[in-house]
Amino acid sequence: MTVPSALTLIGCLAFFGFASDAAAEDLAAVSAKPPMVEDAIPGAPNVAARLAEIQRRVQRAVRYPAIALARSVEGEALVAFEIERGGRPVEIETSASSGSGALDRAALLAVEDAGSLPWVYGRVVVPVRFELTDAE
């Protein structure tokens, strides 16, 4: 047995004359609003800005592995981690492989080498790109 939504109940009540069309419209308008998101750090840059800064710092810390350079290997690894209140990344792991073990290991090291990161609540997933045009 499924539980009907409030919108369905208002619709049924309106059909049988127990609720007005205005009540159904009010409920539909409230139901259509996206949920509010509150930041855990009031007054700080918003979450999107902090996530962009985290990605920028991690990408800046990338060191292209010599073996990957020699073999002209490119790719992108997704790295997942959490950030402690002090800005240190913890529980770092590869969430999606680049297809190269050397690039995946370099992506994990980039997170460790990125320094203190802006804090965000929860697990962060960052793409780490390896492109030969960017290699030093």
Q: Residue written as tokens 């800064």?
A: 53
pLDDT at 133: 84
Dihedral angle of Cα 73, 91, 113, 94, to the nearest 10 degrees: 10
In b/e form, how buried is each residue of 74-103, taking b as 16+ CB within 10 angstroms?
Answer: bbebbbbbebeeeeebeebebeeebebebb
Residue 61 and residue 113 share a domain: yes
Residue 112 and residue 75 share a domain: yes
Residues of the domain holding 113: 47-130
Q: Is residue 102 part of a domain?
A: yes
Q: Which CATH number belongs to the domain containing residue 85 in this structure?
A: 3.30.1150.10
Residue 52 and residue 26 share a domain: no
Tokens at 84, concatenated: 């402690």
- Report the alpha-carbon distance of residue 129 to residue 68 in Å, rounded: 13
Give the predicted TM-score (pTM) of the model.
Answer: 0.67
Residue 57 and residue 120 share a domain: yes
Residue 121 and residue 56 share a domain: yes
Residue 55 and residue 111 share a domain: yes
For residue 23, what is the DSSP state? H
Domain count, the chain: 2
Q: pLDDT truncated to tens, each residue of the chain (136 aa)?
A: 454 555 454 455 455 555 556 665 665 665 566 655 555 556 667 889 999 999 999 999 999 999 999 999 999 999 999 999 999 999 999 999 999 999 999 999 999 999 999 999 999 999 999 999 865 5
